[in-house]
């Protein structure tokens, strides 16, 4: 069961990817985790990636895909995996399809967690974080006991720059330009399934398990 999670930033695909991994006993693989693991282990690809990252440059696709292929051929991926955050662009998707085809493999499911932009902006601009202890809240869905104050350590809660409406709008613009074409790409491959991401987290997961079969 090889699964790709698609969806805009803030659609909740990372949360669903973790739940899928837990239920089906397959690893949840995010590009961020792969980068960190390779850099920590000092692999050749990890050092290449670090060189680009240290200069504030994007890591080239061939380096990212090299690390990804290493990861999905480890023993714990025997039953499959959930990819979260990759591919992000059509060239990455094409490279992944080609690399898997050479090994007689293919993606089984591309799950698009669909949430309208206005919902995402409202969701993310409601997030609040404690910079001291790392606790997170939401003004609407998970508010602190006292407004603006962390329940855990009593520090002030802040709206992170990443979650400000103007930043979210920019991230969504990039998503629509670069990543949304993947929806058409996987639709053509016959593996795309769309779920309504505006439902509760449990209902979204229920929809996904129905697609995956149990």
Give residue 152's pLDDT band: very low, low, confident or very high (50, 70, 90).
very high
- Pick the catalytic residue from 19, 48, 71, 127: 127
Is 13 a residue of the active site?
Answer: yes
Is 36 a residue of the active site?
Answer: no
- Pick the catalytic residue from 160, 169, 173, 189: 160
* Domain range summary for the chain, segments of one domain joined by +: 2-26+79-212
Instruction: Determine the average pLDDT of the residues in 58-82.
Output: 91
Instruction: Determine the average pLDDT of the residues in 98-112.
Output: 94
What is the tens place of the pLDDT at every residue in 20-30?
999 999 999 98
Give residue 130's pLDDT band: very low, low, confident or very high (50, 70, 90).
very high
Instruction: Determine the average pLDDT of the residues in 99-117.
Output: 94
- Pick the catalytic residue from 2, 13, 48, 123: 13
Give residue 171's pLDDT band: very low, low, confident or very high (50, 70, 90).
confident
In the predicted model, what is the mean pLDDT of the chain? 92
pLDDT at 214: 63
Is 123 a residue of the active site?
Answer: no
Q: What is the C-alpha separation between 47 and 38, in angstroms, rounded?
A: 8
Beta bridge partners of 194: 112
Angle between helices 31-41 and 61-72 (to 10 degrees): 90
pLDDT at 193 > cutoff 90: yes
Q: What is the C-alpha separation between 120 and 12, in angstroms, rounded?
A: 9
Return the percentage of the chain with pLDDT > 90, whole number: 71
pLDDT at 57: 81
Range scoring the smallest mean pLDDT among 57-61, 86-90, 114-118, 155-159: 57-61
Q: Return the CATH superfamily for domain 2-26+79-212.
A: P-loop containing nucleotide triphosphate hydrolases (3.40.50.300)
Instruction: Determine the average pLDDT of the residues in 96-111.
Output: 94
Is 19 a residue of the active site?
Answer: no
- Pick the catalytic residue from 18, 50, 171, 187: 171
Is 88 a residue of the active site?
Answer: yes
pLDDT at 56 > cutoff 90: no
Q: In 3D, which of 133, 130, 124 has the Cα closest to residue 157?
A: 130
Instruction: Determine the average pLDDT of the residues in 180-186.
Output: 94
Give residue 32's pLDDT band: very low, low, confident or very high (50, 70, 90).
confident
Q: In 3D, which of 133, 130, 132 has the Cα closest to residue 142?
A: 130
**How much is the pTM?**
0.83
């Amino acid at each position: 069961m090889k699964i790709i999670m698609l969806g805009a930033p803030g659609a909740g695909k990372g949360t669903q990817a973790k739940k899928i991994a837990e239920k089906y006993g397959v690893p949840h693989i995010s590009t961020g985790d792969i980068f960190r693991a390779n850099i920590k282990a000092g692999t050749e690809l990890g050092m290449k990636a670090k060189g680009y990252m240290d200069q504030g440059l994007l890591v080239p696709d061939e380096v990212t895909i090299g690390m990804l292929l290493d990861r999905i051929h480890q023993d714990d991926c025997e039953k499959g995996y959930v990819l979260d955050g990759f591919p992000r662009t059509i060239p990455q998707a094409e490279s992944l399809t080609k690399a898997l085809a050479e090994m007689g493999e293919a993606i089984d499911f591309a799950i698009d967690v669909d949430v309208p932009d206005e919902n995402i902006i409202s969701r993310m601009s409601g997030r609040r974080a404690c910079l001291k202890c790392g606790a997170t809240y939401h003004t609407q869905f998970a508010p602190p006991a006292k407004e603006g104050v962390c329940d855990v350590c009593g520090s002030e809660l802040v709206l992170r720059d990443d979650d400000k409406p103007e930043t979210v709008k920019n991230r969504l613009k990039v998503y629509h330009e670069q990543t949304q074409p993947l929806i058409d790409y996987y639709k053509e491959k016959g593996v795309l399934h769309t779920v309504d991401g505006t439902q509760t987290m449990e209902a979204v997961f229920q929809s996904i398990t129905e697609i995956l079969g149990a």
